[in-house]
Structure formats: C-alpha cells, structure tokens
Amino acid sequence: MTSDVLEIRRHAAWLLVLYTLAHGEPEDAQLFLAQMADPTGAWSMPLHADIADYSQLVRVALRVGQSELATAALATVEDNARRNPGITSIAAICAHARGLVSRDLAALEEATRLLADSPRLLALASAHEDYGVALVRSGDRDSGIVELGHALQIYSSAGAVWDAARAQRRLRELGVRRRLLASSRPRNGWAGLTNSELAVAKLVAEGLTNRQVAERLFVSPHTVSMHLRRAFTKLDINSRVELTRLAFVQAEAA
C-alpha cells in the first residue's frame, strides 16, 4: 500500500470516527480508530490534521477505553508545545488534552481561558464542555452547568448542530432545559462569514498565501483552504482578486 493511499485511508477513518461518535456509536468509532494504524501497527493522525484535532482524539480515545492512545496523543501535543513556545493556540490544546487525560480541572480551565479570544470557536466550546463535565464529576454541579451552558451557546452560534445537541442533552440530564438558539448570522455575504472564515479572508486579501495564512493563524494549510472555499461560496466569488476588492469595499464602509 502506497503512502498516499494510506494517508487517504487514515483521513477517511478519522472523519468516520467523529461521525460515528456524533451518532452515539462508540463501538464503531473504535473500529475506525484501528484502521488509522499502518501495516506495522504504528498509529498516527492524518498528515494535515489540525492541532485542535488532538484534543478531540484524546476525548475519543478515552471514550472508547484506549487510554494508551490518549496518553500518546497528549505526548504529541506536549512535544508540539515545547517546539512552539509562546503560541497560545497550541498551549490551549495542550492544556485541554492534559486536562482530559489527567482529569485536571485547572488545565481544563486554562484551556478555556487561552481560547477565549481565539477564532477557534469549536475548540473553545469543546473546552468549556469538557470542563463542565469534569466539574460536575468533581461535585461542583452549579459551576459545571455554567460551563456546559457556555458550550451550548457557542456550539449553537457556530452552527455545530450535533455538538450543540450533545451539550443540551448533558444539561437536560442535570435537570436543566436550555433551548437551542438559532444563529442570527446571515447565510451569505460578508456578515455571513464565521470568525475563522473572516480571519482567513482578511489575510488572503492582504496578499498572503494559504501557507503564510496557516503559519499566521497556527492552523494547517488544509484548514485555510477549507475556510477560504466557504468564504468564496458565501461571497459568491471565484478569485482572490475579487476577495481583495470586496475586503477593500468593506473596509471603506466600516
């Protein structure tokens, strides 16, 4: 099996892991996790995985009882943090992963604090959710409900329906009923861009390449391409030149 085929298979398996867990099928998720290993049994995330995927991997691994995989994923993130000191987003994901593995409330709280001003809304919501679950587990029900409420609000505003439903279910199990909030964000146009799409669009409009944008925002080039495609669709444009023109008009109108 060629390395390219293996990489495609690994990427597809990771997406299926997330899909099956979202549908409440942890046994199937465990099977797909096994498919991410190479013929020698060595396991790794897809080559272009975003750093935030590693906290999700830790969560998944713990959910299906693979504590060794969770620990290995944490070690990868910690190594990344050591090699990139001072990078807030990486430090936040590291704190999140460490908090999950060690059941460390302080680390989970730190993750929510570090991600508070980040365009990574899903990572922020995920950190609030895991912090809330950990607080409830520790006996601090009221504080846990507050954190889960934050998670629900962020998931809902970001259009993350499955994640929002999960947070809502956690609250319901605690006797708290919260209505899923419909997003007031327009579907199209400049106002329809998410924070992440807007951050990418502005940097591209300044003339940066996808790789330069990825380095500036500390995300993968694949993530930049995805946000840029969505921005083009919402703005009904097909080129970076058109994006630059729209960004200039938007800045003039501000």
How many distinct structural domains can be found in the chain?
A: 2
Q: Please, which residues bridge with residue 43 across strands?
A: 37
Length of the chain: 254
Q: Which two tokens stand for residue 189?
A: 């146009």
Looking at the structure, do residues 57 and 114 belong to the same domain, yes or no? yes
DSSP state letter for 104: -
pLDDT tens digits, 30-89? 788 877 777 777 777 776 677 888 898 898 889 888 888 899 899 999 999 999 998 899
Looking at the structure, do residues 200 and 108 belong to the same domain, yes or no? no
> Could you tell me the CATH number of the domain that includes residue 144?
1.25.40.10
What average pLDDT is seen over the chain?
86
Contacts 24+ apart (CB under 8 A), 16-22: 17/60, 18/56, 18/60, 21/60, 21/63, 22/162, 22/163, 22/166
Read off the amino acid at residue 5: V
Task: Tell me the CB-side half-sphere exposure of residue 190, using CA atoms within 13 A.
Answer: 14
Report pTM: 0.69
* Host domain of residue 110: 50-173
* Cα 64 from chain centroid (whole Å): 19
Burial class (CB in 10 A: 0-12, 13-18, 19+), 70: buried
Is the Cα dihedral 91, 79, 62, 24 positive or negative?
Answer: positive
29 assigned to some structural domain:
no
Looking at the structure, do residues 123 and 158 belong to the same domain, yes or no? yes
pLDDT tens digits, 101-140? 999 999 999 999 999 988 788 899 999 999 999 999 999 9
183 assigned to some structural domain:
no
Read off the amino acid at residue 150: H
Looking at the structure, do residues 95 and 164 belong to the same domain, yes or no? yes
User: What's the rounded Cα separation, in Å, for the pair 215 and 232?
Assistant: 21
